[in-house]
Amino acid sequence: MTLRQSHGLNLSQLNKIGSLQNIRLPFISLETRTNLTHQGEIATEMKLKLYKTIPGFDTDESLLFTYPSRVTDLYVPDLEKVIVPVEHYPECKLGINVYTGSTEIRKPLGFKGKLNRAFEKVANKIEHIDAGEEFIFDARFDTDNNVSHLILNLIAPSILARNEISEALDKPISLNVVLRKNTSNISVKAFKLMGFEVIQTEGSVQGNIIKLDKRKDQTCYGTIPEVFNVDFDGYTRDTPEKVFIPRQGTRSIENNAEIQSFLETRGFKTFYFEELTLEEEWSIARNAKVVVAANGAAWAHFAFNNLGYKNPGIPGSGVKMIDLVSPNFNIKYSQRIAKVINGRRAAVRGQLTPKALKELDFKQRSYSPHLSPMSDPYKIHLKSLEEALAYLGER
C-alpha cells in the first residue's frame, strides 16, 4: 500500500529544486512515499533534488618573493618578485540528491585491504547499519588524514548539504556522517565540533542518503564564507593577532629557528599546529590578523577566519597571509582561501637546489609530496620574508 504526501514550499524553495524522474512538471519540490511494511510499521521513502549556486571568484594577483640568487645578479645575489597571476573560478551549480536507500560498502585499498574484505565476505562480517529515516552523508570518498581534505572536501560539503536540505524542508535536520572504521580521532572530533553525528563503518548504511553531483574546485572554496563563518564548541577569542605556524616532519623549514627569532621580535607568536587541539587551531585561525605559515594543510584552518567579513566593502581588508613555500612542492591554494575570506596573500619561496631543478623540470616522473625532493626541508631567506611583510604593510 502506497500513499503520496504533498509538501507546500515557497517560491524561493521551489526555484532551488529540480524535477523528479518520470514527472514532467517543471518544479516538484519533494516526493515522499509512505509504505506499510510486512510488520505493519510505517516507512517513508524520500526523493529530493536541490541545486545550489556556488559563487565564482577570481583570485587576486599577488607577489612571490624568491630566495636571493646569482641568477638575478651574477655579482650581487638578489631576490626576484614574481607576479602570481589571477586564477578564474566560474560560478557553478551543485546538485544535492537525497533518496531513501543505502550507501555502498567502502572499497578496500591495496592488496591487504582487498584480502581482508574477501575474508569478511566469506565470514559474513560486513556491517549493514539501518539508520531508519536519518539523513546520511558518506564522507569516505576522500582521505580524512589530511586536514585540508578534511575541512575543504568533506566538512564543507556536509555543512552545505545540511543547510540546503534544512531550508528546503523548512526545518533543521540532523545529519549523520559516515567515516571509515579506523578513521583518525581528529576527523571524528572535527565533525562533532560542527554539530554532526558520526557513524564509523566499512559497511553500508541504510537511511535517507545524501549525494552531491561531481564537484569542481570552486565548490569547496566558494562555499567557505557561507559554511565556516560560525562559532564552534570550544572557541576562544583570546589568541594572538600575529602568528607564525611552522611545520614538523616533511617540508619543514631548515632555518626555522632563525625565522622564528626574526618574527618573534616583530610581535609574532609561534604555534606548531601538530601540538594543539582542534579547538585551539581553529580559534587561532579564526582570530588572526597576520599569519606567516609554512605551505601545507595548516592553511585550510583559515577558512574559519572572519576578519574580512567585518568590512566586506573594502577588498583585502581581512587577514594578511604569507605562505612560506617549498621550491620543491608549491600549491597555491592559500591564494584561493585568501580571496574568498577577503584577505591578502604573498608568498616567499625557499632556496632552489640542483636536485630540485633536476627532478622537477628535467625528468618525466610522478610527483608525490611524500618523496624526495618534494618532501625535503627548505631554507627561507630573511630578506625575502622582510620584503613580503612590507608588501602587505607589515614593516
Instruction: Say whether pLDDT at 115 is over 80.
Output: no
- How many Å apart are CA 313 and CA 307, to the nearest integer? 12
57-90+232-391 is a CATH 3.40.50 domain: yes
**Mean of the pLDDT values across residues 47-51?**
94
Residues 325, 355: contact at Cβ < 8 Å? no
φ and ψ at residue 107, rounded to 5 degrees:
-75, 130
Between these two residues, 7 and 155, which has the higher pLDDT value?
A: 155
**Mean of the pLDDT values across residues 351-367?**
82
pLDDT in tens, 116-132: 555 555 445 678 999 99
Count of residues in the chain: 395
Lowest mean pLDDT among 24-28, 73-77, 101-105, 367-371: 24-28
Residues 137, 178: contact at Cβ < 8 Å? yes
pLDDT in tens, 225-242: 999 999 898 999 999 999
CA 62 to chain centre: 22
Residues 309, 225: contact at Cβ < 8 Å? yes
Q: Which of 38, 47, 32 is nearest to 1 (CA)?
A: 38
**Mean of the pLDDT values across residues 281-298?**
97
What pLDDT sits at residue 358?
84
Cβ neighbors of 156 (< 8 A, separation 6 or more) are 219, 220, 223, 224, 227, 228, 303
pLDDT in tens, 308-332: 999 999 999 999 999 999 999 888 8
What pLDDT sits at residue 27?
32
Where are the CATH 3.40.50 domain residues in the chain? 57-90+232-391
What pLDDT sits at residue 43?
56
List the alpha helices (DSSP H) in the chain. Answer: 11-14, 110-122, 147-148, 156-169, 185-193, 217-222, 224-227, 256-264, 278-287, 333-340, 354-361, 382-391
The model carries a pTM of: 0.85
How buried is residue 189: exposed, middle or buried, by Cβ count under 10 Å (0-12/13-18/19+)?
middle
- The C-alpha cell at 356 is 630540485
Q: Residue 139 corresponds to which amino acid?
A: A
Instruction: Say whether pLDDT at 13 is over 60.
Output: no
Instruction: Say whether pLDDT at 365 is over 90.
Output: no
Helix (H, G, I), strand (E, B) or coil at 44: strand
Between these two residues, 166 and 358, which has the higher pLDDT value?
A: 166
Q: Which of 9, 6, 54, 52 is nearest to 31 (CA)?
A: 6
- How many Å apart are CA 241 and CA 338, to the nearest integer? 16
- How many Å apart are CA 220 and CA 228, to the nearest integer? 11
Instruction: Say whether pLDDT at 343 is over 70.
Output: yes
